Each structure stands twice: as structure tokens, then as C-alpha cells.
Chain A
Amino acid sequence: MTTYLIRRVLGIIPVLLGVTFLVFAINRIVPSNPAVAILGDKGTVESQRQLAEELGLNKPVFFDVEGYRSSGRFGQLFDSQYFKYMGELLTGNLGKSFMTRAPVTDSLKVRFPATMELALFSILIGSTLGIVLGVVAALRRGTWVDTGMLFIAVSGVSFPVFWTAIVLIYLFSVQLGWFPPAGRLNVTSTLQPVTGLFVLDTLLRGQYKLFLDSLHHLVLPAFALGTHAMALIMRMTRSSMLDVLRRDYVRTAASKGVPPLVVVMKHAFRNALVPVVTVMGLSFGSLLSGAILVEAIFNWPGVGSWIFNAITQRDYPVIQGGVLFVAAVFIVLNMLVDLSYVLIDPRIRY
């Protein structure tokens, strides 16, 4: 177990190295230049060249082969954008955005908790609905109720998330006025962040009205994002419930005259939750990608829309820092899910 753990953790390093390499490569497939994007329509050839130099983009991407050939110094080979970036990375510096000139780490501190908060609440909404649907379907298996529940769950994963988002805004914000259409807090409210998770911060600061306000802002985006997780969790709940319901101890309890609802709640449901928890972990990846669209539509200041905008603006430091960070989180999360399998099911060995 310990060796497995060490191997998994060490295994992260080459993958992250590969991610930095791939991000650099993808960014620079096309000769398009951020200096052109920054200077815009009015930029001249000369001003673009000047600015590219100021931003350090005139250096070779990976290896300075020409410089090595002409100087003969081996070190010259590594005088490139990539190795400069990696050097800075080792000191924890992710650079500054080309567009805002703000340090990438500063933006991450604000944006990552925002996406986390959205993802957590999506999981919460998705799993609550998914578990309810799954339990009901399992108890009524083979009937039309079962098919109906499955239909609802599969529907959740079949709607395009950007479409659901805009329909929700028009229905619940514009027409009914029940929920705010955007943002994390009322525009006039202020909150001194602690963790960056506003739901938590409002409680820590004792601002209970703002706590309700932040929850209120979460409902629509979290629901739009959560429907996909719902389908997965509903299926898992249903099948593990069916599995548990067949077990002897549940049957025994039922035959002893324990009311059916109590049997379900006390025995079956609790046992069925175990695989569901791992599925929740796995849903995070699809949540992050759905977040790109949902964040843009709900004006949610998270990492998804941030990286997307950076990609279209060729804001290299933000793309590199943002993708690297998200990838790292994602890898660690996947590892934890794998480890939880080992812990939960002793039959699995590595």
C-alpha cells in the first residue's frame, strides 16, 4: 500500500511536466503573436515586433539551437521561453497576464475558489436529485416508475448545458424574477474573502444576510451544471441499491417485520452510498469543462471562463498557469478517487 502510494504520487511529476510541454506546444503551433492581439487593429509591424521583444516572445520556444551553434555554449541551448518559464515556475512564479498585467497567482486565488464553490454545489444538487431518483427507481424496479426515473436522469445528461443555462435565466430570472441571473453576490454588497468560498466566508464573517444572498446566486448555475452529475449518480445509486436489497441481511430485516422504509434508510441506503461517493469525485472533470460555458453565461468569475478568454486572447501566462493548475488539481483528485477504491474495497490490490 505504501509503495503504491509513493508510486502514485511520484507518477504525477512526469505527467505535469508533459502538461507544461504540451501547453507550450499547442500555444505556439501557429505563429500568431500575442503582441498582435494586444496592439489590436491599429498596430504596425514595427510596434508588434517591439512589443513581442518586451514580452520575451522573440526567444525560441523550447531550445535555442541557433544560439547554441553560433556561440558553442551548451547553456545557450536552454535560453528559451520554455526553460525561462520552468525556472520561474520552480520559484512559484506563474508570471503576469499579458492583458491585465496582474500576477497569475493572484487571479487564481480568486478564481479557483469560485469554480470550486460552483462545482461543489453542482455535485450537491446533482447527487441529491440523483440519489432520490435512484432510490425510488430501485424500489420500483421494472415498473414504469423505474423507466420514468431513468428517463429523467438520462434527460439531465442529454441537454446541452449552455442551452439549459440560458433557458433557466429566461425562465427564473427574466420571467419569474426568482433568482439572480448572474454573479456571486448582490452588486452593492461587499465581502472580505477568507477562503474565497463565499458561502463559507459569509458565515465566517457573520454576515448571514450575505450568506443567503450567495446561496441564492448559486442556485441557477449550480443546477445548470449539476444535471449531468445527476444522471451518473442516479444510475449508480439505483444499481448499488438493487445489489444491496438482494443481500441476506436486508432480507432478514424485512422478514423480521422492520417497516420497509426503515430497512431502506437504515441498511440499504447507507451501504449503497459507498460507490456513489467515488462517482461524485469522478464527475468533477466533466463539471470543470461544463463550467467554461456556465461561467460565461452566468458571469461567474471562475477559472473556466478565465482560461477560455485567455485562449482567445493568446494570453500565454494565463493559459499556461491556469491549465497547469487545473490539471494538477484534476490529477490529484483522480488519484484520491483511485485510492478511495482501494480503501473501500479491500478486494482491490495493487
Chain B
Amino acid sequence: MTVIEFNDVTKTYGKRIVLNKMTFSIRHGVLTGIIGRNGVGKSTVMKIIAGHIQATSGDIRVFSDKPFNSLKVSANSILVDDTMSFSDKLTLKDILKEADRFYPNWDAPLAQRLFDYFSFHSDARQIDLSKGKKSTFNAIIGLASHCPLTIFDEPTTGMDTVVRKDFYRALLKDYIAHPRTILLSSHHLEEIEDLLENILLIHNKTALFHGPVTDLQEMFVSLIGKNELISTFIADIEIFSSQINGSFSEILVKNNFTPDEIKQLHTQGIQLVPVSADDAYVALTTGTKGGIDHVFNGTLVN
């Protein structure tokens, strides 16, 4: 069953085009990472899905409704981001109580346990919290609401490493216990790639890649070998990034070798090493420019 559908969705701010005829759909129950460089429109996509902002053109369906002004979408989804704010007249405890009234699937015991685990004070107010604490509090609301569509836009902003790890683990455990459609954005893909089933990669105002994380990882491979071996090899191949460590070179290339070619590479002493989704993402979005090392060493890639 499809939960989110984008058809030729365009969003412009004045003359600036943020999304250009974007099309994708997300199935029920999938944990999808929304990935992209800063300012590519990750937040825009999420806010359109939540019905907070309106697309300039195109058709959007969430739970088969147009999300903008849909009470159904609002009641069945939650968007956790840094614009999630609450009246400063309410204490944190009051806010949890209010969330309980608004969200039918609210998991009060979970909210309370997380609240205590992260040492929040009942009488504190959201406005008094540090950036990281505010993010943590908002994330608790996002988790405990158990909305059929839960959206986290850069939820770990300001959190320290320990809390970030705790949050991701909590997210995964809660997702396993209560499977639902979750969108998660971060510009630290390496932090979340193991959590994700799918990746929606936004680049050049549209969806550059949408599919399983493992497919993204397997689009590329890293070749490691002696400098002279690698440099003879690279003459006729597209290289996405390269790195030289002493007498060894590592190059990132498209993963389209036949088993025979792989065998041949092995006998030549060249190792094939899988790449992370993060490396693959960087390769996809920077193209064959060769990365930062190329700036310092123009000989390997040209």
C-alpha cells in the first residue's frame, strides 16, 4: 500500500525553483532516509508531505488525500523538526498531556520512560531548553505519538553523540515494535544508513535515487592496489573519487565488473572493497570530479 505519492511536484519560492517535477512514491511501513546536500529541499519535501506548505504545482497524495488542509493527514502524521514549537505557558509535562489528547496512538508510558531517561524536568518549559535538549524533547513526542506516518527532519540537531546514538536506537526499537512509515532526514548519512531500508536521494531539484540502501551501496566499488597498478588501470574508466595512501591508491568506480574481470583484478593484486552508502551518495552527487584530493593531486585523475 502506498502512503506517499508525489507526481511532477514543483515548488518555487519567488523565482527560485526548489523542487522541479519531482516524482516518487513511498510504501507503507518503510523506513526511508531523505538524503541530500544542504539546501536541496529535503525539508521542503517533508513540509509538503505534512501539509504545512503547499506545492506550486503537481499532485501530492498522503493516505490518498491532498495533505494541505487535510485533517486526516494531520491526525495520522507528525513532523518533528526545529520549527516544532509549543506555547511557553505550558510545562513539558503539560505538553506531553496535550499530545496525549491529540494523538490517538499516543504511548504515554514510552513518553514517560524516555522523558525520565533523558532527565527532563516536568516543570521546565520548551523555551528554556538548550538546542540539543529541545531536539530530544521533540523527538520523544515524535516517537511516542506512534503516528502511521512519522517524519523526522534533522531530529538530532544539537544532540551530543551519546544522545544521538540513543535516539537512533530508540527509533529502531520502536519501529520494530510498532512498524510504521517513517521518514528520516540527516546530512550525516553515515550515521543513519544502517537504520534505513530505502533512500530517497534529492539532487538537482529532483529524486536522483530512490531505492534500497544496499542498491545504492552496490552501485559503486572501491579498488585498492599499488599506485602503479591502479594508474595503469584507470586510463579507460570513470573515477568518482581517488585517494593516495603512501604506495597504495584507492579509487571509487562504478560497480559493473563481470566475474571474470573481478578474478583478473584479484590476480593483479587489486582488491575490490564495498563502499558505504555515504561514499556512494557523495560519488553520485559530486560526479567524476575526483573529490578534494584531486585539488591537491591532479595527476591521478584527469
A and B: bona fide binding partners: no
Binding site for B on A (CB under 8 A): none
